[in-house]
Structure 1
Amino acid sequence: MTGQTQTQTQTRRKTDDFKTVFAVAVAFALVFSLFVHLPKASAGEAKTALDISKGSITIENNKVTAKTSSGAAAAYNPHGYILSGTSTSNTVTIKGGEHHITLQSLKISTGYNGSSPISIENPNTKVTITLSGTDNQLTSGNPKKAAISVPEGTTLVLDTIDSSNQGALHTIGYGGTAAAIGGNESVTAGTIVVNHGKINATFARSGNKGAAIGGGQSGAGGTIIINDGIVSAESYSGSASAIGGGYSAGGYGGKATTVTINGGTVTTKIPNTAAYDSIGYGSVASAHRSAVENATSVIINGGHLFNKNDSNNLTSLLYKRQPVDGSGTTLFSTGIKVESLPSNGTLVRLDYNGSELTTTTVNGGYVYLFLPVGTQAVTATAIETGVAYYGTATTTASTASHPNSTGTVATTIKTAPSIAIVNDAADDTVLNDGKTSTLEVANLASIVNSGDYPLEYGTDYTVQWYKGSTPVAGNADDNTRLTVTPDKGDSYRARLVATNDGIAKGTSSYSGSQTALGAVDSGVPAVGVGTVLSVDTEATFTKQPDPTAGAITYTVKLTADDAAHTPIEGATVRFYQDGSKYPYTRVTGKGADAGVITFTFSALLPGEHAIKIAFDTAKINGVLYNESVYTKEFTVTKPKPPVGFTTVAAKTDTTNGKIYGVDETQEYIKWIPTIGNNQQIYPVVGNVIENVGPSLYSIRYKASYDGDVYQLASDYRYLVWVQTAQWTVTPVATDSVVWGTGPIDVVAGGSAEFYVAPIDGYEIKERDIQIKYADFSYDSSTNILRLSRITSDIRISIQATPIHEIE
């Protein structure tokens, strides 16, 4: 099966004996044909096309009342009819005999007092509806009428022309007392069979009392058989089952509900608090519940069943009991998670328990099956990619959660290899410098994938060995083993790698490492090459607004104590701070950085400190090198608060201000509290910083390091205010006064005098003068206006008082 655009679901029972299957199938077909006339849904039959928009359609034995798309009256056709068109008033009625109709883009919706869009009437009437296309929709606007009325004694079979490209039918009930497909109000459903097709049964309003598929209010579910297809049935916050019986204030009058699911994908929804079945019976009176349960049979022989509530959480199929299969075995819901397929709607084929099911994933990559208690192998194949996932499902009798049990099908390797050491002496399980040992994967018999499915060495995976991080080949005669003669510190590990043709993909996690210890003591001391640790230091500091700790970075180079000072690559060097027993370890570089490590000692608070950098005696690249050590003691101090600064003020909108009293160890930062240090740092020239505007500035020390004393960056701020140097007072001419003085520049907080006299007929009173940002007085005898404590630029405008107003 290749890339299919329509979801399809099919279930078939497998067996190894083809002859037995064939013989049984033939015998079953012969017997079954005695009782049931098999539906004829062939696309090749010559059916008559009827148009619902031209009028209502009535189909009877040897008679039809309907019109074709041209408006002509249709003649009876024993092969059946193709129904299409759209109507809000016309309906379809089928009564008596057996009939085959195809729905092809048929859309019928009825009003509040209308009939069912499709009604099957009279006992023993059987209708096979074949679905063509995906836009068939039947909507009942009458709360007492089903979208497809299938009363007791009648039969509806739903099928499709092509099971690989299934037709669809959307039925919408009003949400009242009738089903969407099945019984009208107070009517038990007849027989409803789904062979193929995408069937969606729901309601336009909440509170339905009829089942989505099954009985109306007070009606039992009748006989419902789902052989295949994709069926969605939702009880929309109502009180009926999704598939089965409706709500009843009493019981169902002794009528039975029998639901058999042989395959397909079935999704149901019922309210969160439902005390009744998803598939089975609806809400009934407690006094009748026992009798209704006894008259309700739900048999699950296969299929994918996704039973959820209004919150889209999984819920039970049956209320406080479990379904059975055709042999009476109790079943429990089991969720199968398809690893790495979280997308809903992914088409997969499952093989399990001798059955095959093609369906789509839901709920983040799950398929939900009903299985007997036990453990069985499950395989899922993604149809589009062909990738197969293997796993096991262990179904228990626990009903504490939904689903009752879970399993996973996967491709990834779950088990990491476990490494054992084999030496000549059976009790010697240690790697030693210079001693030949064999490492082997000790858990080959228990390797499984993430679905706990057993994997086989050589078929599904092989072993990859590593020395450090470098892959190395295992033994030529047995790749699960690796024979080594290690140096001290050599480390080995392994992981499992999927083969190209097996059922696993990717790699496992690494095994634990096995590291070689020193040589077994022979009593003869080893002679090694001397080493030298050369160290350069560089002061660094934090850039926080108020740093309380510093850091020193060391660049270390480890060389052999020979004439060429040969760098030693891949050596482990340890860094100790203030006597700590737990050093930091780093490995010397290679190539351009041969023998070099850069390391920072941080969190250096004010006080005395001691560091140690050490290389321990070790064999590196087959050469034994002797130890070397570097130690250092130093002091971390805080600077004293900065003092003694003077300023030259700046004029408004200029940068001609200056700050005196600085030195090269200090920084000057324009002070904006919410931004802190992320501002311009002005350069120091001699003992002055120039070109600053009026503002507040922060002065602090830089970090410094002179070899034995490390001074932190200042955690004080000395704030310096560079004031505005001058304000300008500007007289403004008016018709009533004469100014004898022009604009005057004054220092901040200073004073100024102006000559201002009234013209003839006017006199200047104090009330005529209103000045902000300064104190003032006016002498009318001398016409002098005096300003003091000037704090801003000022423009002065005076409107003198006419003398006649004074009189």
Structure 2
Amino acid sequence: MQHVRTKGFNLSGRLAVLSIIALLLSLLSPAAHSYAESSKTTLDLAKGSIVIGNGTVSGKTSSGAAAAYNASGYVITSSSSAVSSNTVTINGGEQQVDLHNLKITTGYNGASPVSIENAGTKVRLTLSGTNVLTAGNPKKAALGVAEGTELTIGTIDGSVNHVLTANGYGGSAAAIGGNESGASGKITINEGTINAKFTSSGNYGAAIGGGQSGAGGVIVINGGVVTAESYGGSAAAIGGGYSSTGYNGKSTSVTVNGGTVTTKIPNAATYDSIGYGKVGTTYASAVQAATSVVINGGAIINKNDSNNITSLLYKRLPVNGSGETVYSVGIKFDDAPSNGTTVTLSHASGSVATKTLNSGNVYTFLPAGAHEVVATREDTGSVYYGLVDVNTSSSNTPNSSGAVSRTIKSTPVIAVVNADAADADLNDGKTSVLVIGNYSEIVNGGSYLLEAGNDYTIQWYKGATLIAGDADDASRLTVTPDKGDTFKAKFVATSTGKAIGSTSFSSVKTTLGPKNPSIPVPGIDSNLSVTSEAEFTKQPDPTAGAITYTVKLTANDGSNAPIAGATVRFYQDGSKYTRVTGADGIIRFTFGALLPGEHAIKIAFETGKVNGVQYNGSTYDKSFTVVKPEKPSGFTTIAAKSGTTNGKIFGADESQEYIKWIPTIGINQQIYPVTGDVIENLGPSLYSIRYKAFYDGDVYSLASDYRYLVWVQTAQWTVTPVATDSVVWETGAVDVIAGGSAQFVVTPKEGYEIQAGDIQVKYANYSYDSSTHILSLDTITSDIRIVINATKIE
């Protein structure tokens, strides 16, 4: 395995971004929920079954009174602690429904405990407490989601502490999704702990998805802890049901963006854990072609009924949102925390809180290649690092394995350097330099490349006595020893770095007897030719920069011949790195981790023999400044209607660039340059703006942090002035947000004046200032056409 860093991914920067996003969500979500909760009607299931339709409701409040329809939604609870046989049916409109500590069990011929019916019905289901839905009818789902409907599941506080358990009977219906012969509607899971399973074996419906003969529809998992078990039947755990004839051309699309997902299917299943269920042989290829499984993040564990890890898809591999094939990866903590330990795993594709399995392992999906990962234990707060090399083998499950670690794996390798490059001995009375040949190539137990000085230092010992290394370079020890003196070294973790403890000692170097000094040999002068190029990362909120230097070492004797195989040292702010020139005499080396401040670098070829030829040394020195500007501010916006791009952001300039905000901001996020001082053609969304990076040879300016929450709001209503013969409108139609405000300049034509009764406005409060001719509207609740018939002056 190559011990390299993956370009563009900074772990600390990534964690900072995730922390900011979590803070934003914590600021926005609770307030919105608190407002919505207080405005909902509480329905008591103990008083009878509940039916919610488009503008209608049938059910009773806790007092026993008949409930009135409430567009703000409902909190469904029960005044009785007993299991109820009453049901909840939602059959129209867009509804906000909270389930609070409900326990519903229906009979063999009964309806679904909770069902969403009729195409076009959309339900945002919010969980509170523990909710258990058990279907007694093998043809009905415990939580029915009919084809053409939409269900979004969240929790009252955004956590996984609220539970929904859906127990299907084990017949021809799903636990969550379609009934017998029914495809599933769209299901989105954002939060909560969701358990979907069956009370008896032999199920032909998916745990989450289609019923028997039904496709899985669209299923999106953004977060939460989801367990789907279909190991006693013939359907996918998440996706399509069993069908001997396929799904009649209907498709299944499952996307996992986050959360912890655990599935279980039979040992000998010839179908997907997540995707399609068992189908007739002649239909398998068509069903497979109509099945899409996209894995963008999360921790995913696919098991069989023997609790062994099994494949996600049958005889193929999933992809991510960019179309890259992704492979299952088991990542092991080197100190093997006990099973069930809560950890947070972060990498370039995202971050997820999950629990350890199988003696300290967590499981996820990543594209092929090397990936830096960081994992944090919740119980101790300890942070672990690893470099996981994901290969393309599909013969094993998981496809690849790696580790995260806190310990230093490498041990020092000591070399002896003398004035005569061919002399590698340590002798009595002769001054020699002991160097650590692998000082800049040290990895931890997870193959993660550690940084000299930041993560570890070197300790030198003469015999058993700790001694100091050279003052200008602690990785070197200059000695004039006596015969029999011994020297050794070990790596020791710093108190603020990414490792703990220390390594074992290196091999011991023992001083031999005296040796006559060699006769100096005249050398050929050398020349270092150096060019530089700044590296600009696309990552959000960069904390440090990088500059790549191209160095060519040649003989300065008129031939300009390249010097191949020469050792060149690169010094950066007290750290040293060693590289060897290629056949063309060239080395490319990147000085990274350039934090804001003053920096000095040095590139040096020291006097010595190369390929038997003596060369005189040469050096290159450079100083420069790294700065980071404050994030920009002072922006104003114009709202945009849904489905349009007529929003704008004012106050920008061409030294800036921007992105459209998404929950997972990464290095592949599309970045747009600012043209002029207005950002135009924007749809409703959050946008983030920052100053661009640049390098002029003396000053390296990092990109600034993004300015979060530049919000182009969704315009709900349009206010349109209507032309008449008596007034002149100087302002055209404007789009506004719900409950928003707008101003218009309107003047009476000659011979007319605008009096209070001349203005016709509905669905808003308004006032008119005759001295400024400004008509102001606020609390706008609908589309408005403003008509003014000014009074003629007699």
Report TM bin, short chain.
0.5 to 0.7
Q: How does 1:709-724 map to 2 (within 5 A)?
A: none
Q: What are the Cα deviations for residues 102-151 of structure 1, in whole angstroms up to 9, with x where unaligned?
A: 11111111222221111111121111110112x21111122221110111
Distance 1:331 1:339 in 2: 24
Does 2:383 correspond to 1:388? yes
Cα 1:182/1:381, change in 2 over 3 Å: same
- What is the root-mean-square deviation in Å for CA atoms of aligned residues? 2.9
Distance 1:342 1:207 in 2: 37
- Structure 1 stretch 46-55 or stretch 167-176: which is displaced more? 46-55
Give the match for residue 81 of structure 1.
Answer: 74
Cα 1:488/1:206, change in 2 over 3 Å: farther
Give the match for residue 183 of structure 1.
Answer: 178
State which of 84, 91, 95 in structure 2 corresponds to 1:95.
91
Distance 1:222 1:104 in 2: 27
Cα 1:231/1:13, change in 2 over 3 Å: farther
Give the match for residue 500 of structure 1.
Answer: 495
Does 2:230 correspond to 1:262? no
Q: Retained in 2: the 8 A contact 1:14–1:354?
A: no
Does 2:340 correspond to 1:348? no
Give the match for residue 456 of structure 1.
Answer: 451
Q: How does 1:409-488 map to 2 (within 5 A)?
A: 409-433=404-428, 435-486=430-481, 488=483
Q: Secondary structure at the match of 2:215?
A: coil
Q: What are the Cα deviations for residues 1-58 of structure 1, in whole angstroms up to 9, with x where unaligned?
A: xxxxxxxxxxx9999999xx99xx9xxxxxxxxxxxxx97965442222222222111
State which of 306, 326, 331 in structure 2 corresponds to 1:336.
331
**TM-score of the superposed pair, with normalisation by structure 2:** 0.58
Does 2:124 correspond to 1:131? no
Q: Retained in 2: the 8 A contact 1:245–1:280?
A: yes
Give the match for residue 322 of structure 1.
Answer: 317
CA apart distance, 1:160 = 1.1
Q: What are the Cα deviations for residues 603-656 of structure 1, in whole angstroms up to 9, with x where unaligned?
A: xxxxxxxxxxxxxxxxxxxxxxxxxxxxxxxxxxxxxxxxxxxxxxxxxxxxxx
Give the match for residue 114 of structure 1.
Answer: 110
Distance 1:437 1:142 in 2: 86
- Give 2:205's aligned amino acid: G
Give the match for residue 756 of structure 1.
Answer: none
Give the match for residue 197 of structure 1.
Answer: 192
State which of 49, 53, 62 in structure 1 corresponds to 2:46.
53
Q: What are the Cα deviations for residues 476-518 of structure 1, in whole angstroms up to 9, with x where unaligned?
A: 3332223445555443221100111222221122211223345
State which of 270, 277, 283 in structure 2 corresponds to 1:282.
277
Cα 1:304/1:497, change in 2 over 3 Å: same
Cα 1:274/1:449, change in 2 over 3 Å: same
Q: Secondary structure at the match of 1:96?
A: coil
Give the match for residue 156 of structure 2.
Answer: 161
Cα 1:311/1:63, change in 2 over 3 Å: same
Aligned-pair identity (%): 58
- Give 1:101's aligned amino acid: V
Q: Gaps (5+ residues) in structure 2?
A: 1-10, 25-31, 518-794
CA apart distance, 1:338 = 3.4
- Give 1:253's aligned amino acid: N
Distance 1:388 1:52 in 2: 47
Q: What are the Cα deviations for residues 766-796 of structure 1, in whole angstroms up to 9, with x where unaligned?
A: xxxxxxxxxxxxxxxxxxxxxxxxxxxxxxx
Give the match for residue 730 of structure 2.
Answer: none
Cα 1:362/1:496, change in 2 over 3 Å: same
Q: What are the Cα deviations for residues 657-678 of structure 1, in whole angstroms up to 9, with x where unaligned?
A: xxxxxxxxxxxxxxxxxxxxxx
Cα 1:370/1:497, change in 2 over 3 Å: same
State which of 63, 66, 70 in structure 1 corresponds to 2:56.
63
Distance 1:149 1:355 in 2: 31
Q: Retained in 1: the 8 A contact 2:298–2:350?
A: no
Distance 1:432 1:281 in 2: 73
Distance 2:446 2:341 in 1: 19
CA apart distance, 1:448 = 1.4
Distance 1:427 1:521 in 2: 14
Cα 1:16/1:317, change in 2 over 3 Å: closer
Does 2:105 correspond to 1:105? no
Q: Retained in 1: the 8 A contact 2:318–2:325?
A: yes
Give the match for residue 216 of structure 1.
Answer: 211
Distance 1:459 1:127 in 2: 52
Q: How does 1:696-711 map to 2 (within 5 A)?
A: none
Q: Retained in 2: the 8 A contact 1:53–1:87?
A: no
Distance 2:483 2:73 in 1: 88
Distance 2:387 2:417 in 1: 34
Q: What are the Cα deviations for residues 248-281 of structure 1, in whole angstroms up to 9, with x where unaligned?
A: 1221111111111222211111111111001000
Cα 1:42/1:275, change in 2 over 3 Å: farther
CA apart distance, 1:233 = 0.7
Q: Retained in 2: the 8 A contact 1:157–1:194?
A: yes
Give the match for residue 399 of structure 2.
Answer: 404
Q: Retained in 2: the 8 A contact 1:67–1:73?
A: yes
Q: Retained in 1: the 8 A contact 2:175–2:205?
A: yes
Cα 1:158/1:251, change in 2 over 3 Å: same
Q: Retained in 1: the 8 A contact 2:260–2:352?
A: no
State which of 491, 496, 506 in structure 1 corresponds to 2:486.
491
Give the match for residue 544 of structure 1.
Answer: none
Higher-Rg structure is: 1
Q: Secondary structure at the match of 1:445?
A: coil
State which of 201, 214, 219 in structure 2 corresponds to 1:206.
201
Q: Secondary structure at the match of 1:446?
A: coil
Q: Retained in 1: the 8 A contact 2:160–2:193?
A: no
Distance 1:187 1:149 in 2: 10
Does 2:501 correspond to 1:513? no
Cα 1:405/1:42, change in 2 over 3 Å: farther
Q: What are the Cα deviations for residues 534-584 of structure 1, in whole angstroms up to 9, with x where unaligned?
A: xxxxxxxxxxxxxxxxxxxxxxxxxxxxxxxxxxxxxxxxxxxxxxxxxxx
Give the match for residue 629 of structure 2.
Answer: none
Q: What are the Cα deviations for residues 711-756 of structure 1, in whole angstroms up to 9, with x where unaligned?
A: xxxxxxxxxxxxxxxxxxxxxxxxxxxxxxxxxxxxxxxxxxxxxx
- Give 2:477's aligned amino acid: L
Distance 1:14 1:485 in 2: 46
Q: What are the Cα deviations for residues 658-700 of structure 1, in whole angstroms up to 9, with x where unaligned?
A: xxxxxxxxxxxxxxxxxxxxxxxxxxxxxxxxxxxxxxxxxxx
State which of 301, 305, 310 in structure 2 corresponds to 1:306.
301
Q: What are the Cα deviations for residues 158-184 of structure 1, in whole angstroms up to 9, with x where unaligned?
A: 111212464211111112221110111
Distance 1:357 1:141 in 2: 35
Q: Secondary structure at the match of 2:102?
A: strand
- Give 2:68's aligned amino acid: A
Cα 1:121/1:164, change in 2 over 3 Å: closer
- Structure 1 stretch 345-354 or stretch 446-455: which is displaced more? 345-354
Q: Retained in 2: the 8 A contact 1:43–1:161?
A: no
Distance 2:236 2:151 in 1: 19
Q: Secondary structure at the match of 2:46?
A: helix
Q: What are the Cα deviations for residues 426-459 of structure 1, in whole angstroms up to 9, with x where unaligned?
A: 3332334555543221111211112222222211
CA apart distance, 1:317 = 0.9
